[in-house]
Amino acid sequence: MNKPIAELISTALNNEMPASEIEKLMEKPKMMELGDVAFPCFTLAKKFKKSPQVIASEIAQQLNSTLIQEVNVVGGYLNIFVNQQMVTENVLQTILREKDQYGSMQTGKGNVVIDYSSPNIAKPFSMGHLRSTVIGNALANIAEKNGYNAVRINHLGDWGTQFGKLIVAYKLWGDKEAIEASPIGELLKIYVKFHERAETDESLNEQARASFKSLEDGDEEALALWKWFRDASLKEFETIYDLLGIRFDSYAGEAFYNDKMDAVVGELKEKGLLALSDGAYVVQLEDMPPCLITKTDGATLYATRDLAAAMYRKKQYEAKKTFYVVGNEQSLHFKQLFNVIEKMGYEWSKDLQHVAFGMMLKDGKKMSTRKGKVVLLADVLAEAIETAKRNIEEKNQALEQKELVARQVGVGAVIFNDLKNNRMNDIDFSLEQMMNFEGETGPYVQYTYARISSLLEKGDFKEQAIQYDALGEYAWPVIQLLEQYPIIVQKSFEQADPSQIAKFSLHVSRAFNKYYAHSKILVEDEWKQMKLSFAFSVAIVLKDALSLLGISAPNKM
């Protein structure tokens, strides 16, 4: 709707303003009685040396199209009422024809690399890791909906000084059988104990540094412990990923780049970018602190590893774009990283994007693994599923596949609670709020889909071409939303913002439920199958929107 109208306005302006720019300025009026689409003419006043109202009036006189029902000029605004019948029938025909392909924007080609989740080995998968995991997964799904091939990478935190600490802690307090029975729980226990003791015993930190040096030097015992910690952790992580329905194409973590960093340091040296600073090598950058490449003892750092990873991924995947889904506290690190790659002469540095997000807080404070102040994601998911199960027992005891539906609803509630928020906002963890199944929640959207599925079953649904007159006045707000879905899909990728899909699904659910409350759908009349076909169109889009977020859509709840 917006695109063809923007093209008409551009033509009325003798193509002196591209339709793409006009479309960006177009708005939805606050009240339906003002119009379906509004175009503010204020920004054109300087260009055309006329008042916004005069410009709006001149455009209005030239807008002759069957798409447009009525045009009004209010102040500097051009308010347009569209031909609702034409738009309704066109949108619904398109959805029914394309089914789950509706909204697919095949504008993208090639690989998009998405680096997300990235938990630390031997540490619990906490609620703090949820954000990167679900935002990254949704972004990968959205990239594919836009025509790209998403390469999903779990850049595991499987190297670093914490392994020195863990090796020391294991030798002092570890219980092999207990760790094999509950790897991450036991490893966390001794890791926390290490930090508590190290506050009063500095020798523990010295032992940890020595242990990590042994690991870097290839000591067999240290390597065997590291591999054991890694394998046990991954096995436990997999149960979480399976529950969330999340997969990866690569688990190449920090350790994978151990033999690839010397080449990067060599290239930096060869290009004259390394500078000595207090015994360490850095790359000097404008308007920000220098990027530290090697420490005084020659040890490499995060930046060195991420440089090696960026080079490897570009060569391996020929990525058109790379997203790093990492908390906003790492913003400086990524600015430095992208600047260094640019200084190295690689134009593809502009294709790298840090997809930052706010923190998951507990009682207003950051969660800390060191102090043991974590909320385990596995525990939250288990409780969410149990809550969903209790709701099912109370409201629909006869429901088939209760366990499956409880899992879909419980897990969906946790994922949706995160993704409905603008990713830059901090989220204060509250299980009670997350499991409130009314209002702006995943279960509300899932229930709307299940309600439509039930209607289709009761009405013995047979897909039918839809006439505008069959639907009634409350259908139009739903149509306007459905028509916007392809644009929402595109914007959510361009802005790396899955919350746009989540909010869209809520708006559609509310609009349809209002329609349902005012419309008799299952009445045996000539319009019944048309109204069911309309409901089916809504279900197609809701299910697709949920799938982009990584959430299942149960047929019954």
- Could you read off the pLDDT of 225-249 as tens digits, one per residue? 999 999 988 988 999 999 999 999 9
- Reading phi first (left if > 0) and then psi (alpha if -120 to 50, else beta), residue 89 is in alpha
Tokens 């938990």 belong to which residue?
119
Dump pLDDT digits (tens) for 382-415: 999 999 999 888 888 888 899 999 999 999 999 9
Rounded to an integer, what distance in angstroms lies between the CA atom of residue 285 and that of residue 345? 14
CB-count exposure of residue 385 (10 Å: 0-12, 13-18, 19+): buried
pLDDT at 372 over 80: no
Confidence of residue 278 (pLDDT cuts 50, 70, 90): confident
| The pLDDT of residue 449 | 97
Distance CA 543, CA 505 (A): 9
Does the pLDDT at position 337 exceed 90?
A: yes
Question: Which amino acid is it at 381?
Answer: L
Question: Under a CB-based contact definition with an 8 Å cutoff, are residues 417 and 431 in contact?
Answer: no
Q: Which CATH superfamily is domain 2-82 in?
A: Arginyl tRNA synthetase N-terminal domain (3.30.1360.70)
Tell me: the pLDDT tens digits for 99-126?
Answer: 999 999 878 899 999 999 999 888 878 8
Provide DSSP, 68-87. EEEEEEETTEEEEEE-HHHH
Whole-number Å distance between alpha carbons of 118 and 52: 52
Pick the more confident residue, 206 or 300.
206
pLDDT (mean) for 253-257 = 94
Contacts of 82 (CB under 8 A, 6+ apart): 1, 5, 36, 37, 67, 68, 69
Residue with tokens 């992580």: 237
What does the mean pLDDT of the chain come to?
A: 92
557/549 Cα distance (integer angstroms) = 19
Can you read off the two tokens belonging to residue 343? Answer: 């200084």
- The model's pTM: 0.91
* DSSP structure string for 445-468: HHHHHHHHHHHHHHTT-------G
Domain ranges in the chain are 2-82
Please say if the pLDDT value at position 553 is more than 60: yes
d(CA 254, CA 256): 5
The percentage of residues in the chain with a pLDDT greater than 70, rounded to a whole number, is: 97
Retrieve residue 137's tokens: 């997964």
Element (H, E) at 281: strand 280-283
Distance CA 192, CA 199 (A): 11
CA angle 144, 146, 151 (to 5 degrees): 30
pLDDT digits (tens, 9 = 90+) for 23-70: 989 998 888 888 999 999 999 998 899 999 999 999 999 998 999 999
Are the C-beta atoms of 230 and 256 separated by less than 8 Å?
Answer: no
> 127 pLDDT band (50/70/90 cuts)?
confident
User: Does 463 have pLDDT greater than 70?
Assistant: yes
